[in-house]
Amino acid sequence: MPTLTPQQLKRALIDAGFTIFRTLPEEVVLAERVRENLIMDSGVRLRCAPALEVRVILRIQRGNFPGEEDAKLFERARALGGPALTAGFREVTHQTSQVSDPGDSTRTLDTFFEVVLGREVESLEAGLEAVRFAFGLDRFAHLEG
């Protein structure tokens, strides 16, 4: 399969009914509509380099689980990925992301614990199907009970 550009991926995703959050040099970040007038990063991406790959970010917010150790928070994020692992995704990396106060960048509001899963695909059609699958995953852990 010839290498696709981010612009070609973007066009195919729009044609398939997806909303784009942003286009980066190696990937298209898909949006999730939270309200009619608000879109946010969905945590789902379609990458074109080095190979065609769908990635999904599974996220836990420390503020929802105060007092838990970092390892337990990453474990919670990994647990969200069970269905994806069964569908051929694999863990690519894990990381923390600081959420800064928009009015004071020196102040951290919360920390996300993120596990990134990826699955290489053989065709654009398979990529679109994997993107649909990723949107069906519970990508964010919520408070229990």
Q: Does some domain include residue 110?
A: yes
The mean predicted confidence, pLDDT, of the chain is 92
pLDDT of residue 1: 58
* Residue 144, pLDDT score: 60
Q: What is the pTM of this model?
A: 0.90
**What are 97-144's pLDDT values in tens digits?**
999 999 998 999 999 999 999 999 999 999 999 999 999 999 987 666
Q: Say which range, 10-19, 32-41, 110-119, 131-140, has the weakest mean pLDDT.
A: 32-41
Cα gap 124→10, rounded to integer Å: 11
Q: 98 is in which domain, residue-wise? A: 6-135
Give CA–CA dist 29/116, Å, rounded.
13
In this structure, is residue 143 part of a structural domain?
no
Strand 20-23 to strand 27-35: parallel, antiparallel, or no bridges (unpaired)?
Answer: antiparallel
Q: Give dist(CA 6, CA 104) in Å, integer.
A: 34
pLDDT at 65 over 60: yes
| Residue 131 falls inside a structural domain | yes
Number of domains the chain is built from: 1
Distance CA 116, CA 53 (A): 12
Query: Residue 139: is it exposed, middle or buried by C-beta count within 10 angstroms (0-12/13-18/19+)?
Result: buried
Distance, in Å, from the CA atom of 118 to the CA atom of 94, rounded to the nearest integer, reads: 12
Q: Is residue 41 part of a domain?
A: yes
CA pair distance 117, 58, nearest whole angstrom:
8
**The pLDDT of residue 145:** 47
Q: Is residue 16's pLDDT more than 70?
A: yes
Residue 96, domain member (yes or no): yes
Report which of residues 71 and 37 the model is more confident about.
71
Asked if residues 61 and 110 have their Cβ atoms less than 8 Å apart, the reply is yes
